Structure formats: C-alpha cells, structure tokens
Amino acid sequence: MEFRDLKAQYNKYKHEIDAAIEGVLKRGVFIGGEEVETLEEELKAYLGVKHCITCANGTEAMTLLMMAWDIKKGDAVFVPDFTFFSTGEIVSFVGATPVFVDVDRNTFNIDVQKLEETIIRTFNEGKLNPRAIIPVDLFGLPANFPEIEKIAKKYNLIVLEDGAQGFGGSIEDKKACSFGDAATTSFFPAKPLGCYGDGGGIFTDNDELAELVRSYKVHGKGESKYDNVRIGVNSRLDTIQAAILLVKLKIFIQHELDDVNRIARWYSERLKGVVDVPVIPNGYKSSFAQYTIKLKDSITREALQQKLSDKGIPSLVYYQKPMHRQIAFLDLACVDINFPISNELSNIVLSLPMHPYLQEEEVDFICNIIKNSTKV
Ligand SMILES: *Cc1c(COP(=O)(O)O)cnc(C)c1O
C-alpha cells in the first residue's frame, strides 16, 4: 500500500495528463505560455481571489511575500511551533525573527489565545518590531482565521496564510488560500493539489502587493525583464507543470476533495473511541492533506507503526520535532516549557495513508490493525 498513491491517480487520468504534456511539447513553449495564464485564471475563479501569481514552490511563494512586505532584521513574525520547517525558515531567511506560538491540541493549528499573549509579550519586551502572523492550515484544516484576523487588526499585523497543505479547505463559504492579506500554496506532488515536480502559488486581493510580487519573481523587473528596478529572484512555475495542474485541478474539484472527506469519515467511524481522531470544527472543511491520529504516548505509537509496517502499511510522523527544538533555531533561545502541546504532539501523532484513491477495504484493513494493536 502507498501512503499517497500518485500512480493510481495517473493511471486513471493517463490519457488527459499525457495529452496535456504532449500539447506543451508540440507547441514548444516551456516557460510561461497559455497554460500558466489559464491556470492562474482558474485558480483565481475557484478561490474567489483577485490575483493569482504562480511561482517555483511553496517556500518561495512565502519568501516573495516577505520581500514585498519588506520584512527584515528587527521584525518579529509569529509562526506556529508545530509545522513544516519552511514556515519559520522563510522568516529567518529575510533576516527577521520567527516567534513561535504553541498550537491547539484538537486542530493542530496555531492557538489564538497564546498568539495574542505572545504578541503582547513581544511588544512589551520592546526588542523586536511585530509585523506579521503566518497561520498554517495544518494537515488540510484551515487555521482559526476569524479570530486571527481580529487579533491582526487589533495589533496592526499582516496575515500570511500558509496554505501549502490547505488547498481545498474552507470556513463556511470562504476557501482556504483566500484568507489574510495574502495566502500561498505548494504544488509539491504529495500536497492536496500537486503537480509532477515543484510549483507554488500566491493569492491576494491587493493590487499593489500583486504588482510588487510579479516584479520580485522576475528579477525585480520594471517595464520588462531587462529593466530592473529592485533586487529580486527567478521564481516560476513551468509550462508542463501548469498543463498537468489544469487536468488535476479539474478532477480535484470534480471528485477528489469529496473523496478524501469520505475516506476521512470511514477512518473516523471505525477509529472513534479507539484512538484520538481528527477534530473538524463546525463550519470548517479540511482537504485532508494528512489524516492524523493521536496515540497515548510515543511507545504506543512506535508499537503501532511497527505493526502497520509488518502488514505493509506505511505511516508517517508529521512532525518529529517542533520548530523551537530545531538546531537551526537554537540561537533564538526558545523556552521549551512554553510549548507543551507541540512537544506532546510530536510524541503522539501518526499520519495514516490518505489519498482520493484509497478503497474502503483498505481502510478496514488498516483500522483493524489499529484496533487490535491498541487493545494490548
Ligand atoms: C510543503 C510545505 C511548505 C513548502 O512547500 P514547498 O513547495 O515544498 O516549498 C510550506 N509550508 C508547509 C506547511 C508545507 O507543508
């Protein structure tokens, strides 16, 4: 069994995907071109945002926003402690300081009460200039944007939604990747909407910001690529990836998002009362980038992982190490006791196989192993 079966998807849509790639090969335009433009239009329409700017990957999408907002040395950016490294890395990369915030045990997302406390503490210390918050839609569940946006307004902070895992989720009628001042996503193959290589996107309603990002991603271009008004980078989604994403976006909307939600229900119906299953708050929809359960302790988790592996079932621990314990952030001198939840989660979480092509019998098989394993 595969953790995320990309081959099953390819086999089902081989004809469309091959034709899309062949179309690009025949036209001979490999950078930019109509596929990239059409994809940006379709993503905008799906998310209900004014601007979509594709780029090289999800990390660079966030870096480009840091550059456009001129976030720099001396600035503080609030980041959940339990996330992929990238979310904090891009803050340090531009010279600013990531200030980590513990997460909510149920949703895995940034704890809004601790967020406000941390913002107040940072203002009071007076060493850093608070600038932005980067909530992450962890495992596909949107962060608590209604509360986060209130806090951001109160303290005059920018909000960047890290929607790398969030594409397809929503709160009421508002889609993930449309929250905050700007949002980003990743098209890494294993993300909810993935291509066959690297890719990323930036989404915003802000005209000025969009204009700046479009300049930064093409060497700080002015009138053209050869008129350079600022120091930028080279960051683009290539044409073949855009062509693949056009096919994949269609099937994602047609059935894949519903499929993963149905599979999550299958899991939860079978595992409720056996282990802690994901909590989806009222009005929220997840795109289930991961289906993550919580075990009693790390010993129970290890034993279960072994039993699953013995039966050929892959499972993964996202994340082994909270941000504040990463060696790369050692110089921030974070206080370990400020992160009880993310410390605990790193010991007890386990992500199970999850993708739109998982069969009910496979879910049964996995759940039976878990039921038998946790009995002893
Ligand atoms: C995958 C991921 C990223 C980075 O995306 P890339 O396209 O791999 O650069 C950023 N944030 C989170 C939460 C992610 O899961």
Outline where DSSP puts E strands in 260-356.
Answer: 284-285, 291-294, 349-352
pLDDT at residue 374 greater than cutoff 90: no
Q: Does residue 63 have its Cβ closer than 6 Å to ligand 1? A: no
Chain segment 9-28, per-residue pLDDT in tens: 999 999 999 999 999 999 99
Q: Which long-range contacts (CB under 8 A, 24 or more apart) does 361-364 make?
A: 362/1, 363/263, 363/266, 363/267, 363/270, 364/270
The pair of structure tokens assigned to 130 is 């608070």
Ligand 1 centroid vs 51 CA: distance in angstroms?
Answer: 20
Judge whether 229 and 220 are in contact, CB under 8 Å. yes
User: What pLDDT does 376 receive?
Assistant: 46
The residue to mutate among 83, 93, 162, 196, having the most atoms of ligand 1 within 8 angstroms of its beta carbon, is: 162
Ligand 1 centroid vs 244 CA: distance in angstroms?
Answer: 19
Q: Name the residue at shortest CA distance from atom 1 of ligand 1.
A: 164
Q: Would you list the domain boundaries of the chain?
A: 6-101+108-246, 255-371
Report the atom number in ligand 1 closest to the C-alpha of 198. 7
**CA-CA-CA-CA torsion sign (335, 294, 357, 373):** positive
CATH class held by domain 6-101+108-246: alpha beta
Chain segment 60-69, per-residue pLDDT in tens: 999 999 999 9
pLDDT at residue 323 greater than cutoff 50: yes
pTM of the model: 0.98
Beta bridge partners of 144: none
Q: Does residue 57 have its Cβ closer than 6 Å to ligand 1? A: yes
With H, G, I as helix, E, B as strand and everything else as coil, classify residue 78.
strand
User: How many Å apart are CA 274 and CA 361, to the nearest integer?
Assistant: 19
- Average pLDDT score over the chain: 97
Report the atom number in ligand 1 closest to the C-alpha of 186. 7
Q: Name the residue at shortest CA distance from atom 5 of ligand 1.
A: 58
Judge whether 171 and 143 are in contact, CB under 8 Å. no
With 0-12 / 13-18 / 19 or more C-beta atoms within 10 angstroms meaning exposed / middle / buried, residue 156 is: exposed
Q: Does residue 83 have its Cβ closer than 6 Å to ligand 1? A: yes
Domain 255-371 classified CATH 3.30.450.20?
no
Beta bridge partners of 201: 54, 185
Q: Does residue 59 have its Cβ closer than 6 Å to ligand 1? A: yes
Judge whether 256 and 4 are in contact, CB under 8 Å. no
User: What pLDDT does 225 receive?
Assistant: 87
